[in-house]
A and B are shown apart, each in its own frame.
Chain A
Amino acid sequence: MTLRFIDWIWHVKGRLALAPGQTSDDAFTRLAPLFRQTGTSYERLKDRLTFQKKDQAAQDRMSIFDSGTLRIENGPHGSELHYRLVSRALLFCFLAAPLFLSFAGATIVIGQLQRPSVEAEKKPEKKDVVLPQNPIDKALGAPAPEKPKKDDKKKDEGPSPTPAYVFAGIFAVLYVVGRILEARLVKRLFQNSLRAT
């Protein structure tokens, strides 16, 4: 099965025009500091640079990417930098949403399985007792203490799937934000590096 229809999920592609007269040698020299990071190895062959990252630090400005290729090609308007970057973080975030949906499903199933046993365990209610309150708290106006009510209805329903749904939603939103934001950030990073004096 070919992955080319879905690899946009974890691949970031783009291109940048080099300054007029800028050689590939000069471009890669300017970009090289980005790859001199802990956990990063890179190889340069003529007009192509490939890199790999492992356990990259959070402070690495390209920490979201795990590998990639940068090429200098001659286009109709001069030389261009073409890049194709691979991000496991984007893929992970994309998959986190269905993962949390599956947690929600599991929560519902487990809740249904345990419901009969919970009902069977219902205990007779104890008599209400008056709880003591310190005179200082009474004088300061704190509400009188009440015995905590056991929320039997909630217990009967079992664990709630709501948090799992919320996190699935959070990761779906984060994926969209990250896919757009990180593509722009890396393009700006390359642009600034190429133009740095």
Chain B
Amino acid sequence: MEGVRVGNRMIGTQSPVTVGWENLPRVEGGPIKRHFFTWFQPAALFALIAFWYYAPNSIATASTAIGIGIGFKALLLALEWVNPRHDSWRLTWKELVIDLFYVGLGFTILRMIDGYIGDGVMIEAIQGVFHWEKFAWFMGLPLLMQAFLISFIFDFGQYWMHRGMHNWYPLWLTHAPHHYITQLNINKGAVGNPVELFLIGLGVGGFFDFLPRAALIAGTLGLAVSTYQHINVRFNTPRWWRFLFNTTEHHSVHHSQDYEASRSNYSGTWIIIDRMFGTCVDGEAELLGMEGGRKMSIRETMTYPFTEGWKSVNARLGRRPIDPIAVPAE
């Protein structure tokens, strides 16, 4: 494959990647369908922001946010059914079961462990010794500015954690299982080794829980923007949106079977961070995964970082040749 030059890199030499917005297909169908899938994303985002901006304090709570999150994802699952981006990404019963298993782990056992050793503990410790009077200037900023800063600072941290996972072998071992998914659906963001889910969850987002409304609006940016990373829906995403925000298209490039393409689009919400650091590739890919699209079982997903890590340690000690599969992403 020839590939396309993007900056200093050749994208799509190993697996097909469409580069450039002008080369991507548009939503097909009648005017109502095209209108809906053109305006759905910005309408949902602004409606959710307006809700959290004006909701009474008694309603603007984390439990409301969880309820809205579940409802919104159920709606997006229905949209996957109505207007799939690729037929090869259609959600099957087996894929739904596997995805929900990882979602379930996140809501139960991982959340419990996170409560003892995760960022919640660290944030509580920091908050305990912090002088809140010094933060009064932040609380005096306009609400939307507070929300933007919380979201952007959190995503900036996630960007470097994610980029680190693609560049540093021990972190890559935890992230690699997530790259064995061969299609994007609503719950695919939860698929991966629990160690990675723990690491990627580490961040300063929870640090701002003393600003509940701003934190909830920031969370809404995650829900109404970041969720579209993993979704099988074709949208006519507005130009300003895809310039600022991460999209399905960007994230499909990141999950491409093409090695160079997979080393792009690291941010979760603000793709502009990738633009700042020269890692953004605008385009899309349909063929996703690793090792030619080999599916990784749940058992292997759970053990991969440890078994591959053990093999690597043995190889370094000269006991056994290294398995070529375990070569880090960069």
Contacts and interface: CB of A to CB of B under 8 A. Distances in A.
Question: Do A and B assemble together?
Answer: yes
Interface stretch (A7-15, A43-51, A88-96): A88-96
B93 A58 contact: no
B123 to A, nearest CB: 13
A164 B109 CA distance: 9
A38 interface: yes
B315 to A, nearest CB: 23
Contact of B108 (A137, A148, A163, A182): A163
Interface string B119-143: 0000000000000000010011111
Contacts of B182: 57-59
Interface in A57-116: 57-59, 63-64, 89, 92-93, 96, 100, 103-104, 106-107, 110
Given A57-B293, A137-B142, A146-B57, A181 B112 contact: no
Interface residues of A, number: 44
A174 B93 contact: yes
Interface string A128-152: 0001111011001111011110000
Contact of B293 (A38, A104, A164, A181): A38
Interface string A166-178: 0100110010011
Interface in B53-106: 53-57, 60, 88, 92-98, 100-101, 103-104
Most buried by A among B97, B182, B209, B293: B97
Contacts of A177: 93
Contacts of B143: 134, 137, 142
Given A167-B107, A167-B108, A148 B212 contact: yes
Given A132-B140, A167-B107, A143 B93 contact: no
Interface size class of B (residues with CB under 8 A): 35 or more
B160 interface: no
Is the contact region of chain B dominated by helix, strand, or loop, or is it mixed? helix
Contacts of B26: none
Contacts of B294: 38-39, 55, 57
Contacts of A143: 54-57, 60, 213
A170 B93 contact: no
A47 B236 CA distance: 52
Given A177-B93, A178-B97, A134 B112 contact: no
A171 B99 CA distance: 12
Given A142-B54, A143-B57, A167 B97 contact: no
Contacts of A96: 97, 101, 104
A92 B292 CA distance: 26
Interface stretch (B34-42, B271-279, B295-303, B305-313): B295-303
A63 B92 contact: yes
A131 B143 CA distance: 13
A93 B54 CA distance: 42
Interface of B: 53-57, 60, 88, 92-98, 100-101, 103-104, 107-109, 111-112, 115, 136, 139-143, 182-183, 209-213, 292-298
Interface of A: 38-39, 55-59, 63-64, 89, 92-93, 96, 100, 103-104, 106-107, 110, 131-134, 136-137, 140-143, 145-148, 159, 163-164, 167, 170-171, 174, 177-178, 181-182
Given A39-B294, A59-B293, 19 more contacts: A55-B295, A55-B296, A56-B295, A63-B92, A96-B101, A133-B140, A134-B140, A134-B142, A136-B142, A142-B54, A142-B213, A143-B60, A145-B211, A146-B57, A147-B210, A171-B100, A177-B93, A181-B93, A182-B93
18 contacts: A55-B294, A56-B295, A58-B94, A58-B183, A59-B183, A63-B295, A92-B101, A100-B108, A134-B140, A142-B54, A142-B143, A143-B54, A145-B57, A148-B212, A164-B104, A167-B103, A174-B100, A181-B93
